[in-house]
A and B are shown apart, each in its own frame.
Chain A
Amino acid sequence: MSKKSFIVLLLFLVMGLSGGLVALHPESPGSPAAHAAAAAAPPAPETPASTWTAPDQVAALERAKETVPFVDAVMDECKLCRQMRLRETGLGTKDIKHSYFVLNSPIINAVEDHYGPVRFMHSKHAAQIQDCAMCHHFRPLGADASETTRCSACHQEAFRKDHPERIGLKAAYHQQCMECHRDMNQGPVDCIGCHNKNVPEHKDKIQLAANPTPFEVTEECLRCHKAAGQDMLKTAHWLLKGPSPFTLGHRKEVEIGKATIATNNF
């Protein structure tokens, strides 16, 4: 989600700034930026009649709404014992039912909602770590209870009087993810590494006449997002210039681009 929308956002900026906005917005459903753009162009219907969302995303969003009963007691075992036992039971990546989750729990949203939900790539993390006990650090106490269970089974509201030592869901996510990312030196540890910012509704903010020209649209964006425009002009994406460290044979400076010799300067 985050990567995709990032690219969409970038494309939007590139195209918007270079005057190619009109061609874009039908292909970018769901992206807040595109939504804003859609709202900005009066010829388009106010809310797109059919916003297509991928079926797995719909399912993930639905799953995110579920809550499960609070698990009061957990089995008391040491981390090593648990790792060994899980290995003996043969639990592994093959048992994963859903490859990803959208962490958008009503338990957290009931109190506050400052950022967009995180899309947690369960399979990817499991495949890389190969140790379920890393995150599934406890299991419910009952003999017939599942070995693994979702975070929100044990971690729900913060500061429960009956379980003062048990942190709330929001803190559980953050502590688990960030501590591991830091320890492994992999994965983001800042807010917007995992979250989208909750972009406020732009319907009322955008002031555009009917049938605006692409340049007017860009100007309207820049009215508030001045810095974003300036930043854009310095990026490799705009300049088509600079090192391409991940491209074979292009690790050094590439001196061809809009800033120098225009090759594809539309």
Chain B
Amino acid sequence: MDLSRRGFFKIMGATGAGLAATGRSAAAWESRAPEDAYGCLVDLTRCIGCRKCEQACQTVNGLPQPEQSFDDLTILDRKRRPDEKSFTVVNRYYSGKIDERDQLIPTFVKIQCMHCQDPACASACIVGALTKKENGAVHYDASKCIGCRYCMVACPFEIPAYEYHNPITPRVMKCTFCYERVAEEGKLPGCAQICPVEAITFGKRADLLALGHQRIKDNPGRYLDHIYGEKEVGGTSWMYLSDQPFEDLGFIQVPEKPLPQLAETIQHSLFSYLWSPIVLFGMLSGVMWGFRDKGDRHIDREGENP
């Protein structure tokens, strides 16, 4: 019993040491965020809830026509989520404030993939079908996908949707950041181009951050001093300016640490160059060699045998 216990201690020791190593090398994890990525800054104080972005998205991405027309603005109150048929939706929120004519002042919130700088979905994806591109887009390659849906589990913003009713070739569906349009045709994302009031500003992420902070500085009364997406989950390509607290507008509080960091740190410190499996293998071989003829001599001490 004692000896076998010791053997177990050794296994535990090996794994324990590995896990302990994770703590030490936690700082070693490095962000793989692209240097010069594009992004979009959504200014919620500008959005007028016209749903033109939804319409442009549907056209540009060849998505199916919705049941209700894009001209129907009553749907704004429904708190929709992006799904496999629409990559972006606009919802209306009321803070309870009223204007001079006793009308409730609405705030419109556009939702789409945030295109995280260090996307959890791309870290999770078993085959690398989801990748963070140099231009900032989190890009999905259906030809690699096996449909495990781990990306959907990983996404903190609950964005990827799935074609659950396609039995053989379902796809993960989410905002593409109009990757082909931007990268190959040099155009703007469909939504940013159509927006009549430039609620969506397209540009390099670094420039947008500067612009956002400038807007806050120039209009301190108009904006909260917070750009959602500057630090959230280590930064996102899509960012938001608002005059209402973000938590009242359907935004959740997320850690400022990139979500892949913990799991990747553990994985890499345990399995880089497969050192821990090799060490464990060697230790077990040694134990097996050492015990090759001795195991059963303790059987008699397994006291509880009748």
Binding site for B on A (CB under 8 A): 111-112, 114, 158-159, 161, 164-165, 167-168, 170-171, 174-175, 178, 185, 189, 191
Contacts and interface: CB of A to CB of B under 8 A. Distances in A.
B207 A164 contact: yes
Nearest to B50: A191
Contacts, number: 43
B188 interface: yes
Contact of A178 (B101, B192, B197, B203): B197
A165 B101 contact: no
A175 B197 contact: yes
Contacts of A168: 198
B198 A171 contact: yes
Contacts of B207: 161, 164
B116 interface: no
16 contacts: A111-B193, A112-B193, A112-B194, A114-B194, A159-B192, A159-B202, A164-B203, A164-B207, A164-B211, A167-B198, A171-B195, A171-B197, A171-B198, A174-B48, A175-B198, A185-B101
Interface in B46-100: 46, 48, 50
Say whether chain B's binding surface is mostly helix, strand, loop, or mixed.
mixed
A164 B208 CA distance: 8
Say whether chain A's binding surface is mostly helix, strand, loop, or mixed.
loop
Contacts of A164: 201, 203, 207-208, 210-211
Interface in B168-208: 188, 192-198, 201-203, 207-208
Nearest to B41: A164
Interface of B: 46, 48, 50, 101, 188, 192-198, 201-203, 207-208, 210-211, 214-215
A189 B197 CA distance: 12
A185 B99 CA distance: 11
A39 B203 CA distance: 45
Contacts of A191: 50
Contacts of A161: 203, 207
A159 B196 contact: no
Contact of B198 (A111, A158, A178, A185): A158
Nearest to B71: A191
A96 B114 CA distance: 47
A159 B203 contact: yes
A165 B217 CA distance: 12
A159 B50 contact: no
Given A111-B193, A174-B48, 18 more contacts: A112-B193, A112-B194, A114-B194, A158-B188, A158-B198, A158-B202, A161-B207, A164-B210, A164-B211, A165-B211, A167-B198, A170-B198, A171-B196, A171-B198, A178-B48, A178-B197, A185-B101, A191-B50
A128 B9 CA distance: 88
- Report, nearest first, the 7 A-B pairs whose CB atoms are least far apart: A171-B198, A174-B196, A167-B198, A174-B197, A164-B211, A159-B202, A171-B197
